[in-house]
Amino acid sequence: MLTKRIIPCLDVKDGKVVKGINFVGLKEVGDPVKLAQKYYEQGADELVFLDITATHEGRDTMIRVVRNVASSIYMPFTVGGGLKTIEDIKNVLRAGADKVSLNSAAVKDPKLIEQGARIFGNQCIVLAVDGKKRKDGTGWNVVIHGGRIDTGIDLLDWIQTAVSLGAGEILLTSMDTDGVKKGYDLEMLKAVRSVTHVPVIASGGCGSLEHFYEVFESDLADAALAASLFHYDELTIQDVKNDLKEKGIPVRL
């Protein structure tokens, strides 16, 4: 089993880190540069930065924050939110990001994945997918615009399409578990794992050390992402890694 990664996530709105439950009820929790430095010092394997409002006016703010974060840490850094064009991707990478996360824009224009992978390499293109279980329980649909729009697109079909176009990694968030702290959506992760060969990052619902262990012990993800647990100092990155190592899960200490 390859080394498993622990990834804190910074959801950023108007230059500040925020957190909510099921994508709503956002509360400000801190400064992105200070939090990024904290997680770097704690031994995070990577950092994900998502501009969750990504208004046109906020674009320059985001680039400035990305630049400030990138200059203060020395670990892989993924940036997403409102990236609609190759020029947007280029600007974020120039500001210091190592990878970009594409979500709503990729659903609307799948060629963005293909072009991005061709120009910058597959390893640079992360497909961020927000999935929500269908009411009839037959599977999951892709939701976009911060969970506000159900596209009606089947989650597994979309992931397979995106990987065939060049997505090199999947950041999979369950809308049903996001912020609830009852554990990752293991059922959805298992389904995704069965249809793709690229690395999968589990996101949405982590609330304890046991939840990290569950997702890795069953090899349903290559990395686990969490936010509020780390933001509110309920756990440190080192707490998680020490616990996983004791339980036989390979991590980088």
Helix (H, G, I), strand (E, B) or coil at 78: strand
Active site residue 14: no
Q: Pick the closest to residue 169 from 222, 111, 205, 226 (CA basis).
A: 222
pLDDT tens, residue by residue, 59-75: 666 899 999 999 999 99
Q: Is the pLDDT of residue 147 over 90?
A: no
Catalytic residue among 45, 51, 88, 130: 130
Contact 31, 231 (CB under 8 A): no
pLDDT interval class at 24 (50, 70, 90): low
pLDDT at 250 over 90: yes
Domains defined for the chain, CATH in brackets: 5-246 (3.20.20.70)
Q: Spot the catalytic one: 11, 51, 185, 222.
A: 11
Is 130 an active-site residue?
A: yes
The pLDDT score that the predictor gives to residue 22 is 58
Q: What is the pLDDT of residues 78-98, one digit of tens each?
A: 999 889 999 999 999 999 999
Q: Is the pTM of this model over 0.85?
A: yes
Q: Is the pLDDT of residue 23 over 60?
A: no
